Chains A and B, each alone.
Chain A
């Protein structure tokens, strides 16, 4: 396995004798902790999976992040642990309640109950030129969501996208779905790296891209 380039604030630490990714922050979902460090489970987090698989995410720590599809805050909590100002967009009320708890102890995590398909409903809150957009939305039209949100990203920023094949079309071959998504992305983004996340997430594609 290639040695991943980890952002500052993310480290490999021993938990029960196994090296695991970890960040420093309040525990969120009963994950194992070691002092102020808490383990980042790549099976519960697409971004964690991408880091574990050695994707070159371009993340260095302390950047401004827009996170689309924050859900209950499992991953975005880790992101806020090592990043700077982090905007977390989630559409469903129930998981957002848990997200609010994650945001309680993280003073640069800003939870927003908004629809990632309608960026104009949060462009008055989320700042321009963010360093990274992390996207993990399980709806159809994942490439469209990434394209519409490109307006927030700095010219040299990174889109870190997890595409779920089953959300686009359950009956199609995931490889065909991924090809279609990458094709649509190519209009707005230059794809720097892509690869399956199957070791941790079945039928998911991880993508690192930068605006054209």
Chain B
């Protein structure tokens, strides 16, 4: 796809009777605004008349959609694990290289930014001499790696809902991929109890706890979920437990049935609303309860 075709119809660069090209155009094309495509298709000679156009459209959309469905259903948890790990690697390496590139560039140019954005700016410069060329080339590779990371993220966003529709809706595509990667696959995740799902990604803290050195972790990677992070600290344990419970169920539905179950999501939203309502109810009586707590804190300090 070239940019000047971005507002053309799907048929613009499709030779007649080329289903693969039509599929590619329907799947990956885009346009800001629709247009009178049947008329334009006839004018451009793609179709003889409106009826002919609709016949071709019927054939092309059915073919494209059938292939896209098959591809999305073939997408499996293994691929998602590779994609999320590759994304993390790209991000980590891009950040490291950006630090190196900007530090180096700072010794040669004025006004050097930091991080990936800084590396992108340096990559735009005109080199003057061999060392400049190396710094700028390194920055360009860093920027390309950051782009690759974004592309991987977009792929995860597309693949995760096909692999695990309920998990993806509940946890978002990225967290879904991370949970599946941490568990080692969708099936192992579906077989884990919710308590394990709750602390996936917090293995260090969990083993520290089991050897008696630390309190039990309240949450693992699910901390990144808005339901946990957006809940006040004293209720986060409850929120993490409720979320993990529904995620475990979602993983089972995704693995064993694969169908979207609205009721799961409703249940979780209802439960979260209840947990968050606690904060409101204590805030509204906060004037009364806050004072004694402050007093005890002061007296403890005095004792110490």
A, B from the same assembly: yes
A123 in contact with B62 (CB, 8 Å): no
Q: Is the CB of A92 closer than 8 A to any CB of chain B?
A: yes
Summarize B's interface: helix, strand, loop or mixed.
helix
Residues of chain A within 8 A of B36, CB atoms compared:
127-129
A112 in contact with B35 (CB, 8 Å): no
* Chain A: interface residue total (CB-CB under 8 A): 35
Q: Is the CB of B217 closer than 8 A to any CB of chain A?
A: no
Mark interface residues in B62-86 (1 if CB within 8 Å of A CB, else 0).
Answer: 1011101100110000000000000
B34 in contact with A126 (CB, 8 Å): yes
Residues of chain A within 8 A of B33, CB atoms compared:
123, 128, 151
Looking at the complex, which one of B31, B161, B266 makes contact with A166 (CB distance below 8 Å)?
B266
Smallest CB separation, B268 vs chain A (Å)? 9
Residues of chain B within 8 A of A96, CB atoms compared:
65, 69
Mark interface residues in A91-105 (1 if CB within 8 Å of B CB, else 0).
Answer: 111101101100110
Smallest CB separation, A74 vs chain B (Å)? 15
A152 in contact with B34 (CB, 8 Å): yes
CA distance A93 to B25 in the complex (A): 19
Looking at the complex, which one of B10, B58, B73, B266 makes contact with A124 (CB distance below 8 Å)?
B10
A93 in contact with B9 (CB, 8 Å): no
Q: Which residue of A lies closest to B259 (CB)?
A: A94
Smallest CB separation, B38 vs chain A (Å)? 6
CA distance A107 to B262 in the complex (A): 32
CA distance A98 to B31 in the complex (A): 27
CA distance A103 to B61 in the complex (A): 10
Question: Given A92-B260, A100-B65, A112-B26: A170 and B270 within 8 A (CB)?
Answer: yes
B65 in contact with A111 (CB, 8 Å): yes
Looking at the complex, which one of B8, B31, B273 makes contact with A171 (CB distance below 8 Å)?
B273
B69 in contact with A123 (CB, 8 Å): no
Q: Which residue of A lies closest to B169 (CB)?
A: A139
Question: Given A100-B65, A129-B36: A169 and B26 within 8 A (CB)?
Answer: no
Looking at the complex, which one of A109, A127, A170 makes contact with B269 (CB distance below 8 Å)?
A170
Looking at the complex, which one of B30, B57, B273 makes contact with A121 (CB distance below 8 Å)?
B30
CA distance A112 to B35 in the complex (A): 17
Looking at the complex, which one of A94, A110, A121, A171 makes contact with B58 (CB distance below 8 Å)?
A110
Looking at the complex, which one of B10, B25, B54 makes contact with A85 (CB distance below 8 Å)?
B54
Q: Which of A94, A123, A125, A166 has the most CB of B within 10 A?
A: A125
B34 in contact with A110 (CB, 8 Å): no
Mark interface residues in B16-35 (1 if CB within 8 Å of A CB, else 0).
Answer: 00000000011001111111
Q: Is the CB of A120 closer than 8 A to any CB of chain B?
A: yes
Residues of chain B within 8 A of A97, CB atoms compared:
69, 73
B57 in contact with A110 (CB, 8 Å): yes
A113 in contact with B65 (CB, 8 Å): yes
B37 in contact with A125 (CB, 8 Å): yes
CA distance A75 to B284 in the complex (A): 48
Smallest CB separation, A85 vs chain B (Å)? 6
Known: A93-B162, A113-B72, A128-B37. 17 other contacts (CB 8 A): A92-B165, A104-B62, A107-B54, A107-B58, A108-B58, A110-B58, A113-B64, A123-B32, A124-B29, A124-B30, A125-B10, A125-B57, A126-B34, A128-B33, A128-B34, A151-B33, A170-B266
**Closest 7 pairs (CB-CB, A-B):** A124-B31, A128-B34, A171-B273, A123-B31, A93-B72, A110-B61, A124-B29
Question: 7 A-B Cβ contacts within 8 A?
Answer: A92-B161, A96-B69, A108-B58, A110-B58, A128-B33, A128-B35, A171-B273
- By a beta-carbon cutoff of 8 Å, the part of chain A in contact with chain B is 85, 91-94, 96-97, 99-100, 103-104, 107-113, 120-121, 123-129, 138, 151-152, 166-167, 169-171
- By a beta-carbon cutoff of 8 Å, the part of chain B in contact with chain A is 7-10, 25-26, 29-38, 54-55, 57-58, 61-62, 64-66, 68-69, 72-73, 161-162, 165, 258-260, 262, 266, 269-270, 273
